[in-house]
């Protein structure tokens, strides 16, 4: 019973992080429909997508949504594994369960109830714990055959002691039945799986299917999509060239942000992402978008423009020379006077380089498969130190590559995030996607990363390796124990009382060994 209690505790810890967040969601929130003036208090179940919801300081967000007013710091640690509070402002996404640590925010709900990220996390974790990996299924089959074999041994024991000493039949039979421990076989794998699931979930790694921990250490070929996987889907301001010495880098960026504030175009979000929490926001009047040109407004009585060369009047904002890594170049001018040139490019996902290096150091091969231009893919692969890279591939091409490698006996893992990655994710031995990926990509993934940092992949492999090791230790112990204890019981050397002690101790040792996997320290260095 103690062993079962510990095992149940391990399983519960696998869900605790998400369930604690669900419990922290407020029972009621203040909302108003879009366009209304008056706020009203309603139950969380009555909030609908499109409603504007108040998020007071010190409270948990009740819905997934987008900030429409306010600036604050939000703690998403239990959702994504990110330990630091994340700055949020107008246009940024908010996840249900994240804690507002600073100033009040107004959020427009995009997902409520079962559609929120946290509700999906709970469902995925429950599914992962309910689905058994192949090793667990084999252990259950072994336990079933073990039980049948044990009954046969018990029958032979009765016949043996009927012939030797009939007065010892009952205590010897009881000892044989009690000392045997099929439950240690059945506990050996699921207890380790539950403990590792709990450990990984605290770092934003969610197992959608139980076999992922078995498979991750076996992978010898990791395949990565490029756009949205190795590189972020959102561009960033990669370079700022000042053309007027009377303006600083911070000033021209502030002017650019003033023009792009509230604009949902990816280039606009690149400028907003460059803002620090303390940066002041400039005020621009008569703000408007000029089709095929850029953004225009009036600042300090002069026309402020941000856009391509012909529109902004900044000659240096001509498109850059042919480059393997594409850039978008924009000019900023004030009253016809050139102020700055901005180069905007996609950037590496956090931890991508370290993750690929760690996987290669562990003995796996890494390759990039992408539909992007061949030269672009080759340039990014060279930057990452990846020798094998193919660009210009269709989803069918990627699928064919995976099938070829698997036919050669390779164990293939695919990491992707787009709709076009869904077929190859389904075909790979192990598939990994991101919480922000296309729904069809998430649905086909064995592992979901809720943190943008890709160093979670080496953590997954290291945890899988430890888990498989603990499973193996538990199974060896269960087999050795039974091979030693049952013959001794048949021979009459173990009494029923000591048989009970041995059986209970065996189960307890198996579960305690698995519990080591749930310790809170880091599994392995991330680089």
Residue 276 has pLDDT above 90, yes or no: no
Q: Any residues with CB less than 8 A from the CB of 291 and at least 6 apart, and which?
A: none
Give the mean pLDDT of 341-358. Answer: 87
Tokens of 63: 């819905």
Tokens of 66: 């987008």
Q: Taking the CB of residue 409, how many other CB atoms lie within 10 A of it?
A: 7
Give the mean pLDDT of 497-514. Answer: 83
Tokens of 276: 């620090």
Give the mean pLDDT of 329-351. Answer: 88
Cα–chain-centroid distance for residue 138? Answer: 28
Residue 525: band (very low, low, confident or very high) from pLDDT cuts 50, 70, 90: very low
Give the mean pLDDT of 332-351. Answer: 88
461-485 CB burial, b ≥16 within 10 A, e <16: bbbbbbbbebbebbbebbeebbeeb
The 10s digit of each residue's pLDDT in 371-392 is 777 887 888 888 888 999 998 8
Which pLDDT belongs to residue 404?
A: 92
More confident residue, 324 or 88: 88
Q: What is the DSSP letter of 133?
A: P
Which pLDDT belongs to residue 412?
A: 92
Residue 278: band (very low, low, confident or very high) from pLDDT cuts 50, 70, 90: very low
Looking at the chain, how many residues does it have?
A: 527
pTM (2 d.p.): 0.63
d(CA 197, CA 389): 33
- Percent helix, strand, coil in the chain, to 5, is 50, 20, 30
Task: Write out the DSSP string of 152-172.
Answer: HHHHHHHHHHHHH-GGGHHHH
Residue 365 has pLDDT above 80, yes or no: yes
Tokens of 257: 């942000």
Which pLDDT belongs to residue 310?
A: 85
135 CB burial (10 A radius; 0-12, 13-18, 19+) = buried
Residue 340: band (very low, low, confident or very high) from pLDDT cuts 50, 70, 90: very high
Which pLDDT belongs to residue 523?
A: 38
Residue 132: band (very low, low, confident or very high) from pLDDT cuts 50, 70, 90: low
Tokens of 462: 């290291």
Work out the mean pLDDT of the chain and round it to a whole number: 79
Cross-sheet strand order for the sheet of 86-88: 86-88, 72-75, 99-100
Residue 522 has pLDDT above 60, yes or no: no
Residue 367 has pLDDT above 90, yes or no: yes
d(CA 415, CA 441): 10
| Catalytically annotated residue among 75, 92, 225, 453 | 225
Which pLDDT belongs to residue 519?
A: 66
Q: Any residues with CB less than 8 A from the CB of 422 and at least 6 apart, and which?
A: 395, 438, 440, 441, 443, 444
| CA distances in angstroms from 459 to 202, 213, 453, listed in the order given | 12, 11, 11
More confident residue, 405 or 18: 405
Closest CA to 365 of 347, 349, 399, 389: 389
> Rounded to the nearest 5 degrees, what angle is found at the Cα of 436, between the Cα atoms of 431 and 439?
65
β 447-449/430-434 pair status: parallel
Q: How large a percentage of the chain has pLDDT more than 70?
A: 79
Q: Any residues with CB less than 8 A from the CB of 391 and at least 6 apart, and which?
A: 226, 370, 371, 372, 373, 374, 375, 376, 377, 378
The 10s digit of each residue's pLDDT in 200-210 is 877 778 887 76
Query: Active-site residue 220, yes or no?
Result: no
């Amino acid at each position: 019973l103690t062993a079962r209690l510990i095992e149940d505790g391990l399983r519960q810890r696998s869900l605790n992080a998400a369930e604690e967040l669900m419990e922290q969601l407020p029972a009621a929130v203040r909302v108003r429909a879009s366009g209304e003036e008056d706020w009203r208090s309603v139950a969380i179940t009555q909030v609908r997508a499109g409603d504007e919801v108040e998020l007071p300081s010190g409270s948990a967000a009740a819905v997934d949504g987008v900030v429409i007013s306010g600036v604050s710091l939000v703690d998403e640690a239990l959702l994504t594994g990110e330990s630091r509070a994340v700055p949020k402002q107008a246009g940024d996404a908010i996840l249900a369960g994240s804690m507002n640590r600073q100033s009040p925010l107004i959020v427009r709900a995009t997902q409520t109830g079962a559609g929120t990220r946290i509700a999906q996390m709970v469902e995925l974790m429950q599914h992962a714990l309910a689905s058994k990996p192949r090793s667990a299924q084999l252990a259950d089959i072994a336990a079933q055959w073990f039980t049948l074999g044990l009954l046969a041994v018990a029958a032979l024991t009765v016949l043996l002691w009927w012939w030797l000493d009939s007065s010892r039949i009952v205590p010897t039979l009881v000892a044989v039945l009690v000392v045997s421990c099929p439950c240690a076989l059945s506990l050996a794998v699921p207890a380790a799986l539950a403990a590792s699931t709990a450990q990984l979930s605290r770092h934003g790694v969610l197992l959608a299917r139980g076999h992922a921990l078995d498979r991750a250490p076996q992978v010898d070929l990791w395949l990565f999509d490029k756009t949205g996987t190795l590189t972020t889907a959102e561009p960033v301001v990669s370079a700022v060239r000042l053309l007027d010495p009377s303006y600083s880098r911070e000033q021209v960026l502030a002017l650019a942000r003033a023009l792009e504030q509230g604009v949902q175009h990816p280039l606009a979000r690149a400028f907003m992402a460059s803002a620090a929490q303390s940066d002041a926001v400039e005020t621009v009047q008569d703000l408007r978008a000029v089709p095929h040109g850029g953004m225009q407004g009036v600042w300090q009585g002069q026309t402020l423009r941000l856009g391509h060369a012909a529109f902004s009047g900044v000659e240096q904002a001509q498109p850059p020379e042919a480059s393997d890594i594409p850039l978008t170049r924009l000019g900023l001018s004030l009253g016809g006077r050139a102020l700055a040139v901005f180069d905007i490019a996609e950037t590496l996902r956090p931890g991508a380089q370290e993750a690929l290096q760690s996987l290669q150091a562990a003995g796996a091969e890494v390759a990039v498969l992408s539909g992007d231009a061949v030269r672009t893919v080759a340039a990014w692969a060279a930057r990452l130190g990846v020798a094998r890279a193919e660009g210009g591939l269709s989803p069918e091409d990627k699928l064919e590559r995976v099938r070829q490698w698997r036919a050669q006996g390779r164990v293939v893992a695919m990491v992707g995030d787009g709709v076009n990655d869904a077929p190859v994710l389904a075909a790979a031995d192990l598939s990994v996607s991101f919480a922000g990926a296309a729904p069809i990509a998430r649905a086909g993934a064995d592992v979901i990363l809720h943190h943008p940092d890709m160093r979670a992949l080496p953590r997954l492999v290291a945890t899988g390796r430890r888990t498989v090791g603990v499973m193996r230790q538990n199974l060896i112990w269960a087999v050795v124990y039974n091979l030693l204890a049952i013959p001794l019981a048949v021979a009459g050397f173990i009494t029923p009382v000591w048989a009970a002690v041995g059986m209970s101790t065996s189960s307890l040792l198996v579960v305690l060994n698995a519990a080591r996997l749930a310790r809170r320290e880091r599994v392995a260095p991330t680089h």
